[in-house]
Amino acid sequence: MNSLTNNTQRLTEHFQNDRKIIGAYPEDLKVALSSLDTQEALNEIKSWKGYKSTQLHSLQGFAKEIGVQDILYKDESTRFGLGSFKALGGAYGVLKFIQNQLTEDLNKNISIRDIRDGQYLDLTKNYTVVTATDGNHGRSVAYGAKLSGCKCQIYIHAEVSVGRQHAMEEFGATVIRIKGNYDESLRICIEEATKNNWQIISDTSYEGYTRYPRYIMAGYTVLAHEIAEQLDYKNMPTHIFLQAGVGGFAAALMAYFWEMFPEKNIKFIIVEPTLAPCLIESAKANELTVFDIKEETMMAGLSCGEPSLLAWKILNVGTDHFMTITDDRIPDLMRLLLKGMGNDPSIEAGECSASGLAALIEIKNNDCIAKQLNLNQNSRVLLFGTEGATDPDIYEAIINA
């Protein structure tokens, strides 16, 4: 096996964020997301059937090879049987919509528990939720629709795999495949929702649409709360690598750790594919910037060209370092995670799940950037296994290539 720290990847890009705010989580960002949102989501999601904390692995074999003190890896491959962290967001967003709509229609307070128990099926069957997706988010929205008894229509782009399409259809969703990329599927989704008075449940927020993306981000923070409970205070990470598509997941996790542990001065590194670098482009321009995707990355869940407005507000002032990675290392790292390095456990890591590890290796190859970020043998690095084999056929083809 070649050393993990050989052969720096080609075509990667780095941007050190001089606008980083140090200290307490700013009050004005609590409008985007706060610990109160986390607590509400946590109280609800912990009551769902099948809820349990996902595993937080210590990958000492990888840590020794790369040259850091510890690598913590939050493994979302088992979350609610949906195979990704997305299960925490889209489904919660759907249930909050149903709760809000019933409360308005019936003019009384409605509990989500009663909705999940089927007490309002005669009404919820008349509601329709819609979204655009690369796969995992749509599966969560479809799951939420099944929990609440509403209709669900999902728009996917040309490159979404048939396996991921079928996974959504298994929950009863109607799936529409369009030509073009994710951003085109979102555009059509918005048009159809407006025309038919359907409710969009998207983790992409934009002017005039922030309520449900905020709920979705709050759902994501549940896994951050789990990590805080799984670690001693003194063992909190020094560096957190956050893979990003539209940025909702990355912003949610950043907001949680920043608000709860401001004195730790955790370094946050945002990781994107070179083929879909909308956040690093936004960082360089110091304003939200859309990137026109011409080619799809194998990290399908990160193939997004337009940042989420809410997410960008947090990421723009909280990120220490933006970077991109190529697809080159991803297959080998997926295989290494499955095999385990030294005594590390065997981990089913989907394509997006290897991105943080690839980024860590990339920075450790760059002495200048590693020094800027104080990333060294004393560092405790937190990575996120955001998905397992969400398309088993694709996963097996990569592993066995």
Catalytic residue among 37, 70, 75, 134: 134
Contacts of 323 (CB under 8 A, 6+ apart): 12, 13, 14, 15, 269, 270, 271, 272, 280, 359, 362, 363
Cβ-count burial of 234 within 10 angstroms (0-12 exposed, 13-18 middle, 19+ buried)?
Answer: exposed
What is the rounded CA–CA span in Å between residue 401 and residue 395?
Answer: 10
Beta pairing class for 151-156 and 380-385: unpaired
Catalytic residue among 37, 70, 74, 86: 86
Q: Which of 320, 361, 359, 363 is nearest to 341 (CA)?
A: 361
Helix (H) or strand (E) holding 250: helix 248-260
Task: Give 277's DSSP letter.
Answer: -
Residues in the chain: 401
Question: Hunting for tokens 């080619």 — which residue is that?
Answer: 295
DSSP E strand stretches across 320-386:
321-325, 380-385
Beta pairing class for 199-200 and 128-133: parallel
Provide the 3-class DSSP secondary structure of residue 332. helix
Beta pairing class for 321-325 and 267-273: parallel
86 is catalytic: yes
179 is catalytic: no
One-letter amino acid for residue 302 of the chain = L
* Distant-in-sequence contacts of 183-189, Cβ < 8 A, 24+ apart: 183/290, 183/293, 183/304, 183/305, 183/306, 184/157, 185/132, 185/133, 185/155, 185/156, 185/157, 186/132, 186/155, 186/306, 188/132, 188/155, 189/130, 189/131, 189/132, 189/155
Task: Give 84's DSSP letter.
Answer: B
Which residues are annotated as catalytic? 86, 134
